Amino acid sequence: MNNEWWKEAVVYQIYPKSFCDSNNDGIGDLEGIISKLDYIKNLGIDTIWLSPIYESPMEDNGYDISNYYEISSLYGDMNVFDRLIKEAKKRNIKILLDLVANHTSTKHKWFLEAIKDKNSKYHDYYFFSKTKDEKKSSFGGEAWEYVPSLDEYYYHYFGVGQADLNWQNENVRKEIVNIMLFWLNKGVSGFRLDAIELIGKDLKNNVIANGEILHSYLREVMEEVRKSYPDFFTVGEGWPNVEIMLKYTANERKEINELFQFEVPTYTWKEGPLGKFSCVRRSNLELKEALNKWQQGIHNKSYLPLFWENHDLTRSVNRFGSLIYPESSAKALAAILFLEEGTPFIYQGEELGLVNTVFENLDEIKDIEAKMLYKEYVEEKKLYTDLEFLKMLNVGCRDQGRLPMPWNSSLNLGFNEGFKTWIKVPNEYEKMVASSQILDDNSVYSFYKKLISLRKGKFKEILINGSFKLLDFSSTNIIAYQRLLNDKKLDVIVNFSDEETKIELKNLNIILGSHNKKINKEYTLSPYEVIVLSSEV
């Protein structure tokens, strides 16, 4: 891991089903992604993360893989994928694939063989039991599903169609190595590792996440792959604290490069199993404390992936910002994220400041998690009415982040030229289309472009390697921090509120502002205004 190129990267996550539909079947595809590579390059992106594109029955939109070595026919075929790699390389864009290694689809040949014969080697690829306990699926309902032909239950942490792999089996670990090598040979540069914190589970002792044994599994797999690809990149999905994060990513451990933390992106969630459907605005003090904890805890020990949004989250403007000032909110969130220490991850449409839509009926919801929770909490437990549950889904449903990208003002906002889309096209997106924002120097898109340019330009060294220090202002409306490296300083000041806020400034050397106002010592920040000041010209 000598070439740590990922520290300088800016990653753009694509949810293929919703990005761009080239053949008008209502579903985004690889050809659509190829057609938008210039858009991605123009933004300043150098790395793309693709949510799963493998063969799948699509019960969970590809996070239920039935064949790791084939492209889903919904998205194209291997020839199109090879062309995507080639076209991305022309533009100096790397590709990361989403590797779902915690579980497979129950349509996968391994699982089909496992339930056909208890003596099959594949039976030990999964967790089977003659009895079941009280474990629950994270999507709602029981985590054990009965197989009549075996008179056994199999374990699924997620959906019924997603059977968990048994990483205790050495053959499973070898399969993962082979899968990684196959795609690295194809030209990808690394992987986002889905639900990686679950691979060390010990069901008998009720250990589900972050089982200590998983670290030896990761070292074994990664060391084998790095024999051929020493510089490939891995970023894991987990819900760690700082101590757990470092167990995965500390430089000397040689496991994975980065691990997502969800404490900051989900700090608006209430406690409890349905907490994300009941978001609350918390204080700026709490947010600053959380940002500071992670920045201080990781500095010089590891490297942090920075994000507000992904395919499992609603739009960040709704969670953190203001719908009265949506564009300013989006710029404020971008500045707070991009100028911290870490690798920025942008989710498709985030650079346009996209917001949540309003689902008008339950039939508009496509997400398997929402459907399983509806079954448990409405149909079975009868804790909510349909209308009450729909209101909750509008707050926290994963589909909010999976709606079609708005490219222009034509039919279906340019997602395709047909009359159907797999999920609704929101009216809210009509004033946020990419074609207009590209031409507007004051748009959210243009502000993202300026931030990316800042990271890759004169201030690259301090933004990649500098330390992080919170700045103290008298107003609680302000979120501000300083990046320091040697004698160089960069001050990031954000009025993270709906109110005008007066501040006093000692340094007037502005290098970036979201409102294009003249800076002076006695300065009034507009709602959600950003200013970035430097110690040097």
Task: Give the C-alpha distances (Å, rounded to integers) separating 471 from 23, 284, 370.
Answer: 51, 13, 41
CA-CA-CA-CA dihedral for 59, 65, 70, 73, to nearest 10: 0
State residue 60's pLDDT score.
Answer: 96
The 8 Å CB, 24+ separation contacts for 445-449 are 445/43, 445/351, 445/352, 447/330, 447/331, 447/334, 447/335, 447/514, 448/43, 448/334, 448/338, 448/346, 448/351, 449/42, 449/43, 449/44
- One domain, residues 150 and 299: no
194 is catalytic: yes
Catalytic: which of 55, 60, 64, 194?
194
**438 in any annotated domain:** yes
**458 in any annotated domain:** no
pLDDT(1) > 60: no
- One domain, residues 328 and 475: no
State residue 243's pLDDT score.
Answer: 96
pLDDT one-digit tens code per residue, 453-483: 999 999 999 999 999 999 999 899 999 999 9
Band (193; pLDDT cuts 50, 70, 90): very high
- One domain, residues 292 and 347: yes
Mean pLDDT of the region 487-505:
96
- One domain, residues 244 and 182: yes
Mean pLDDT of the region 373-380:
96
Catalytic: which of 237, 341, 367, 529?
237
- One domain, residues 226 and 309: yes
State residue 51's pLDDT score.
Answer: 98
Contact 89, 44 (CB under 8 A): no
**163 in any annotated domain:** no
- One domain, residues 441 and 490: no
- One domain, residues 414 and 528: no
Mean pLDDT of the region 74-92:
98
CATH number of the domain at 490, please: 2.60.40.1180
**Treating both helix axes as pointing N-terminal to C-terminal, what angle do 214-226 and 170-186 enclose, rounded to 10 degrees?**
40
State residue 475's pLDDT score.
Answer: 94
Mean pLDDT of the region 511-531:
95
Band (149; pLDDT cuts 50, 70, 90): very high
Mean pLDDT of the region 258-275:
92
Contact 311, 13 (CB under 8 A): yes
Contact 347, 334 (CB under 8 A): no
State residue 537's pLDDT score.
Answer: 56
pLDDT(80) > 50: yes
**160 in any annotated domain:** no
**162 in any annotated domain:** no
CATH number of the domain at 118, please: 3.90.400.10
- One domain, residues 514 and 437: no
State residue 272's pLDDT score.
Answer: 82
State residue 124's pLDDT score.
Answer: 98
Rounded to the nearest integer, the mean pLDDT of the chain is 96
Contact 405, 445 (CB under 8 A): no
- Taking the complete model, does pTM exceed 0.85, yes or no? yes
Phi-psi category of residue 370: left, alpha or beta, with phi > 0 → left and psi -120 to 50 → alpha: alpha
Cα-atom radius of gyration of the chain, to the nearest Å?
23
State residue 334's pLDDT score.
Answer: 98
Determine the Cα–Cα distance for residues 465 and 342; give it in Å rounded to an integer.
9
* Total number of domains in the chain: 3
- One domain, residues 381 and 481: no
Domain range for 481 is 465-534
- One domain, residues 148 and 260: no
| Of residues 208, 128, 192, 161, the one with CA closest to residue 369 | 161
